[in-house]
Structure 1
Amino acid sequence: MISTVAVAGYRSLRDVAVPLSQLTVITGGNGSGKSSLYRALRLLADCGRGDVIGSLAREGGLQSALWAGPATLTAARRGAPVEGLMRGGKRISLQLGCATDDYGYLVDLGIPQQTGSAFDRDPEIKREAIFSGPIMRPATTVVRRRWHKVEQREGRVWSEVGGLPTYRSMLTEFADPRQHFELAAMRAALRSWRFYDGFRSDVDAPARRPQVGTRTRVLAGDGHDLAAAVATTLEAEFDDLPRAIADAFEGSTIDVQVQDGLFQVALQQPGMLRPMRAAELSDGTLRFLLWAAALTSVDRPSLMVLNEPETSLHSSLIPALGRLIRATSAHTQVVVVTHSESLIQHLDPTPFEPDEPLEERLLIDLYKDLGETMVRGFGWLSAPSWEWGSRR
């Protein structure tokens, strides 16, 4: 289980470390930084897939994603004016990291030198580290990358593993489990993370149209393979999906109609003479079916992140959604980003309390202070421990 996620220098996240529980609910007002934290988690997952450079480039480059305020807001909180983009002499960088109780990973991305290349907007990977335990320290670092050089610790001595260009990650280039188990384990964990950021349910939504179906053990992010994913889950005799549908729609059953290799979902509701196909379902009903298929798929990820799953759902479906998410969190670590008080109530998370053991269901409440995202209840001594180290 991921115990800590840390972000520094990304949008409104100047420097924050957030604890994660088995079920973590992230909430806060509009503009508090929920979306920035969600995107930071996606960037971490992209590190495992070797796509973090491309993802940042598609956001407009590193310069548009960086924290835009000063390196410290101490003077501003005493009443002094905020002085634009001053960094206090520190290197400009975006840093991401995560850790379990056994090992962790961090990456430091910086602005490239301008060489006249067509790729001068691409950020550079300046530093990476794999470390044992939940906090990076010199003594716990087992594999490190500085600029172009990747090194592995052998006792008290560092030996060079190889070289890398600044646009390639050591997670994708040196993750042979026979030689670098920690690298391989972290890459596999990051690649298994699954993100769902709402689903289309309009009249032209892919989930409404019959689709060619093959065995689908994981629902796609856009839900186009809904029918195939449902058929795979039903064939595997997983009862979580039928139970969730019956709970949400008062004894209804879900099935998949197959004709000439084309699959489409059908919902049989009590009192109806025939099942309703996906094209006939209401937007909210179809959206719930998509969430149910995502949360009950055959392959369970190590971490699932849901962004505002309550969107477009009628209030009567929120209790069933909450029960479904809680059931999923029994075997998959789940992060829910939401501002729905009703969903939070049905997920029943416990607010963070300093010096108290983390509960299985944890509430993280974000707010803004002079443009910086803060976590309610965190202080200098109560925030999770995290060390970034330096590029030296």
Structure 2
Amino acid sequence: MPSNRITEIHVKGLRSLADVRLRLDGLTVLIGDNGSGKSSLIEACELLQRAASESFAEDMIRIHGGVGSLLRAGAEHLELGLVIALEGGFHERFEYSFALDRSGVILRELLDWVRGELDDGDAVMEQRVGIISREGGLYRSSSFRFLIDEKDVPPVERTIDPKRLALSSFGEFPPHWLIREALAALRAIDVHLPFDTTARWVQRSRGQPSPLRGAATIEPAEALSRFGANLPNAWSALKNDFSEAHWRETMDYVRLGLGRDVESVNVRADPGGGSIALRLKYAGLDEQIPSFAISDGTLAYLAFVALYRLNTKKSLIAFDEPETHLHPELLQRVLGFLEAMAKERPVLLATHSDRLLDGLSDPARSVVLCELDERRATTLVRPDPDALRDWLTEYRGLGDVRGAGHAASVLTRREGRGFTCSC
């Protein structure tokens, strides 16, 4: 499990994200108009997660449509990167970034270890060590240099396919501990979209089953997968892989949202064998309710409880529109889960929900407005804490302030732009 924290992501050339650097600390909630870049920032997190895979180049085409389909109009390259603070390190972090041209060729890739030391005046002096250094090219075999764990050994040079990332090219045994840390942090980015709770009759009419409403092949579950596809296995793990006290507490969270008459969340083996399906048992009802008959909001809430209670250590959890399917009261319960998870790792949300904003315990710290400038490029704006404090004497939350048309009086602190690419 990764123990390091992602403290920043930066994106350049991705749709409206011309040049954006987003600081991450606890819970970050993206708001803004449609097309302002919120979902593109979520997708950037997914791209960074895939950078740890040897199939990154193929996934970029198969899943994201290739670099050309992601590039902002007029942009010559796409650049992605992140900053990760090392646990227990004094002013110590590592920075990883890469840039690709329209055809998917890697133009630049850097992994730097940055260490800080105090000088005689207690100022922090930074030392930067290049762990991976690479410049690519379309008409020649790309090469890169990297350090190994042994001391006083000069950088090693290696050739590589121009479209393959160096970071993920070492197989199971990377030569430097920081490469292992970087891979672990990227792999532990967890990106979620609204849970697929499509009604059974809709599934059948279009021939596309919803994994939440049907049986799932029996598999171990350490975390909830995207769309909640492994929800039956997640609940099986919660019931069987943890202590009785953990299970009782899990059911307390279920009843907190769904009512005291929920007796249990169960899984039942499929008669055909090899798979299990979710069942919900209410007191006073002899029959358990199968997943295909559970309401959208109830099913989504059960997925959020599983996401929270499995609580696998992630380096970043990103969720686009978590309010989908949820009654406002259930949304507040889910927001409590997300804020609790954000105490251990960054949680990034994108939302249109004023009710979610009203429920934030620290909106001045959490909220980031995405808005487009005159070039239709995303800029990031945070609330002014003093102005927000004044408005909250009259309104129940930032969502209420926004709904009344006063957001411009509160959201006034612009974030800095991103980095300069040397490509």
Q: Common fold, TM-score beyond 0.5? A: yes
Distance 1:339 1:131, change over 3 A: same
Does 1:346 find its partner at 2:359? yes
The offset of 1:261, in angstroms, is 4.5
Q: What is the Cα deviation at residue 149 of structure 1?
A: 1.4
1:165 alignment counterpart: 161
2:317 to 285, 294, 304: 304
Aligned mate of 1:141, from 122, 127, 130 = 130
Please report how far the alpha carbon of residue 98 of structure 1 lies from its aligned counterpart in structure 2 after TM superposition. 0.2
Provide the rounded CA distance (Å) in 2 between the counterparts of 1:63 and 1:258: 46
Go from structure 1 to structure 2 and tell me whether the alpha carbon gap of 1:382 and 1:310 turns closer, same or farther (over 3 Å shift): closer
- For the structure 1 residues 213 and 384, does the alpha-carbon distance in structure 2 shift closer, same or farther, using more than 3 Å as the test? same
Instruction: Show the counterpart of 1:256.
Output: 267
Residue equivalent to 1:132: 113
Is it true that 1:111 corresponds to 2:79 in the alignment?
no
Question: Structure 1 residues 152 and 215 mapped into 2: Cα distance closer, same or farther (>3 Å)?
Answer: closer
**Alpha-carbon distance in 1 for matches of 2:422, 2:172:** 26
State the one-letter code of the partner of 1:248: G
| 1:212 to 1:55, Cα distance in 2 relative to 1, 3 A | closer
Q: Distance in 2 between matches of 1:181 and 1:386?
A: 28
Alpha-carbon displacement from aligned partner over 1:115-166 (angstroms, at most 9, x marks no partner): xxxxxxxx1111110112399x994433211111111359999633311111
TM superposition score normalised by structure 1:
0.80
Matched, 1:295 2:308: yes
Is contact 2:368-2:380 (8 Å) kept?
Answer: yes
The question of 1:328 aligning with 2:341 is answered: yes
**Preserved CA contact (<8 Å) 2:190 2:317:** yes
- The residue that corresponds to 1:93 in the other structure is 77
* Aligned partner letter, 2:368: I
Contact 1:104 1:134 in 2 (8 A): no
Alpha carbons of structure 1 residues 159 and 207: separation in structure 2 relative to 1, 3 Å: same
Instruction: Summarize deviations over 1:212-266 as a string: whole Å, max 9, x none.
Output: 3232212221323211111101221334532321111112232222354432212
Q: Which amino acid aligns with 1:254?
A: V
3-state DSSP of counterpart to 2:234:
helix
Distance 1:269 1:343, change over 3 A: farther
What pairs with 1:1-392 in structure 2 (closer than 5 Å)? 1-58=5-62, 59-68=64-73, 85=74, 92-101=76-85, 102-112=93-103, 123-133=104-114, 139-147=128-136, 148-152=142-146, 159-174=155-170, 179-201=175-197, 202-203=199-200, 204=203, 205-235=210-240, 236-237=242-243, 238-239=246-247, 241-251=250-260, 252=262, 253-258=264-269, 260-297=273-310, 299-351=312-364, 359=365, 362-370=366-374, 371-377=376-382, 383=415, 387-391=419-423
Structure 1 gap segments, 5+ residues each: 69-84, 113-122, 352-358
Q: Which runs of 5+ in 2 are unaligned?
A: 86-92, 117-125, 137-141, 204-209, 384-410
Letter in 2 for 1:293: A
For 1:96, the aligned partner's letter is L
| Alpha-carbon shift at residue 24 of structure 1 (Å) | 1.4
TM-score by length of 2: 0.75
Amino acid at match of 1:305: A
Question: Offset at 1:5?
Answer: 0.5
> In 2, Cα distance between the equivalents of 1:298 and 1:229?
11
Aligned residues: 349
- Conserved in 1, the CA contact under 8 Å of 2:381 and 2:414? no
Cα shift at 1:383: 3.5
2:172, 2:224 → 1: CA distance? 28
- Matched with 1:81 is none
1:64 deviates by 2.6
| TM-aligned CA deviation for residue 279 of structure 1 | 1.8
Code of the aligned partner of 2:279 = A
Report the AA paired with residue 29 of structure 1.
D
